[in-house]
Amino acid sequence: MMQPSQGFLPNAPLFPPRASEMARDIDLLFFTVLGVTIFFSSLIAILIFYFMVRYRRTSPNQVGVYMKEGGGTMWLESAWIIVPLVIALGIFAWGARIYFAAARPPSDAKQFYVVGKQWMWKIEHPGGRREINELHVPRGQAIKLKMTSEDVVHSFFVPAMRVKADVVPGRYTTMWFNPDTVGTFHLFCTQYCGTEHSRMVGRVIVMEPADYERWIGGAATGTGGSIASGEDLFVSKQCNTCHRADSTARAPMLWGLMGKTVHLEGGQTATADENYIRESIVNPTAKIVAGYQPIMPTYLGQLSEEEIIQLIRYVSSLKAPSATEQAPGVNPPVPSPAHEGAR
């Protein structure tokens, strides 16, 4: 359970636990803006109360003192336009800096996959181990989540990390955090998703790295998890009949594809990331690689989100053939999960 704060109501904390550097940054920004809020609210409240008493009507026919509008009032109007504007822009810049940082995971982040569905979270570790409604992570390691939904829009929220991101069907969204405190923290779905929305909750368990390695245990050195499953799918869905590693293939070669720039029909380019590969599977005619015919059928509705993720992980694991190696065939060697994890 959560560690309750030691207040006068021990079971009613007034402040959420925090477990990342970014949580501290966001708290600092929050309390600064809170200070601005308290300052202006108090200023207005004190002035109102003071004027109410000081200028209270003393006789029924009394009227207020007329203040002529003119040059004298202009500076006052300008002041209370410009000062709040400058403050607001400062707050904006600070907030945008944090938001941009939250949108850019560090390059050494470990990538986890999250699939939301009514009403559970399905999570896959880099090594292929899966869990439901729980996310075990090692302390001190940036954790990047690639997330999608099988049905409606969900939102992945870890209050202790102060970050959330919507989990949207039909695309991948990304969030990341770097936990620096060992403990168990709330995981909430914050985008209303139907009847049992409030049961779509779970826990994020931050462990010492050694404990995490022990916890992940055999799964990390097992079959390679979803990469192997992805390879099976690649064969059973007959992707391999066209996506072959030879020059006569009817479809683009996938070895070394991930992260590369792809040239499309019509002169445009696209970056081959998870969203690109996902789109190419469910809506293959959306982006046609230059020099190929739009002959691929759609796999929309034939693959679950988890299967698509398995395929993406398999495709990501395919390294570009080097000159010294022979071109990989239909069954290229599967990289070891440990290698994959360090990608």
Partner 1 sequence: MSALTDFVEPVEEAPEPYEHYLNHKYGLASWLLTKDHKRIAILYLISVSLFFVLGGVMAVIIRLELTTPEGDLVQADIYNRLFTMHGILMIFFFLIPAIPGVLGNFLIPLMIGAKDLAFPKINLLSWYIYVVGGLFTFYALLAGGVDTGWTFYAPLSTSYTNTPVITVALGIFITGFSSILTGLNFVVTIHRMRAPGLTWFRLPLFVWAHYATSLIQILGTPVIAITILLLAAERIAHVGIFDPKLGGDPVLFQHFFWFYSHPAVYIMILPAMGVVSELVAAFARKPVFGYHFVAFSSIAIAVLGFLVWAHHMFVAGISVYAAAVFSILSMLVAIPSAVKVFNWTTTLYKGSISWETPMLYALGFIGLFTIGGLTGVMLATLGIDLHVHDTYFIIAHFHYIMVGGAIMGYMGGLHYWWPKITGKLYPRFWSKVGALTIFIGFNVTFFPQFILGYLGMPRRYHAYPNEFQVLNVMSSAGATVLGLGYLIPAIYFIWSMRYGKDASANPWGAIGLEWETNSPPPVENFDEIPTVTWGAYEYHESKVTPSLPPPRPKGEVVRV
Q: Binding marks (x or -) toward partner 1, 110..129, rule CB under 8 A?
A: --------x-----------
Nearer to partner 1, 5 or 336 (CB): 5
Task: Pick one of 6, 14, 108, 266: the residue that binds partner 1 (CB under 8 A).
Answer: 14
Site for partner 1 in 46-65 (CB under 8 A): 47-48, 51-52, 55-58, 60-65
Task: Pick one of 24, 30, 265, 330: the residue that binds partner 1 (CB under 8 A).
Answer: 30
Min dist CB 101 to partner 1, Å, is 9
Task: Pick one of 41, 241, 271, 304: the residue that binds partner 1 (CB under 8 A).
Answer: 41
Site for partner 1 in 268-287 (CB under 8 A): 283
Closest among 326, 278, 276 to 298, alpha carbons compared: 278
Nearer to partner 1, 41 or 241 (CB): 41
Site for partner 1 in 128-147 (CB under 8 A): none
> How many residues bind to partner 1 according to rule CB under 8 A?
93
242 phi-psi bin (left φ>0, alpha ψ -120 to 50, beta other): alpha
Min dist CB 86 to partner 1, Å, is 11
- Return d(Cα 119, Cα 151) in angstroms, integer: 10
Task: Pick one of 132, 290, 295, 300: the residue that binds partner 1 (CB under 8 A).
Answer: 300
Q: Would strands 269-271 and 261-263 be described as parallel, antiparallel, or unpaired?
A: antiparallel
Q: Binding marks (x or -) toward partner 1, 165..204, rule CB under 8 A?
A: xx-xxxx-x------------x-xxxxxxxxxxxx-x---
Amino acid sitting at position 148: T
Residue 334 is given by DSSP the state: P
Residue 88 contacts by C-beta under 8 Å, 6 or more apart in sequence? Answer: none
Nearer to partner 1, 170 or 183 (CB): 170
Q: Is the CB of residue 304 less than 8 Å from the CB of residue 281?
A: no
Site for partner 1 in 90-109 (CB under 8 A): 91-92, 94-100, 102-103
Place of tokens 């992805």: 230
Nearer to partner 1, 36 or 219 (CB): 36
Compute the half-sphere exposure of residue 276: CA atoms within 13 Å on the CB side of its CA. 19
Residue span binding partner 1 (CB under 8 A) among the ranges 13-21, 122-130, 238-246, 249-257 = 13-21
Min dist CB 322 to partner 1, Å, is 36
Residue 158 is given by DSSP the state: E
Nearer to partner 1, 159 or 179 (CB): 159
Site for partner 1 in 203-262 (CB under 8 A): none
Site membership for partner 1, residue 86 (CB under 8 A): no
Residue 303 is given by DSSP the state: S
**What is the dihedral sign for C-alpha 303, 305, 310, 316?**
positive
DSSP string of 201-259, one letter each residue = EEEEEEE-HHHHHHHHHHHHTSS-HHHHHHHHHHHHTTGGGTS-SSTT-SS---TT-TT
**Coil/strand/helix, residue 70:** coil
Site membership for partner 1, residue 16 (CB under 8 A): yes
DSSP string of 176-207, one letter each residue = EE-B-S-EEEEEEE-S--STTGGG-EEEEEEE
Q: Is the CB of residue 154 less than 8 Å from the CB of residue 189?
A: yes
Task: Pick one of 24, 106, 140, 151: the residue that binds partner 1 (CB under 8 A).
Answer: 151
Residue span binding partner 1 (CB under 8 A) among the ranges 80-88, 128-136, 234-242, 288-296 = 80-88
Q: Would strands 143-149 and 173-177 be described as parallel, antiparallel, or unpaired?
A: antiparallel
Min dist CB 235 to partner 1, Å, is 26
Min dist CB 166 to partner 1, Å, is 5
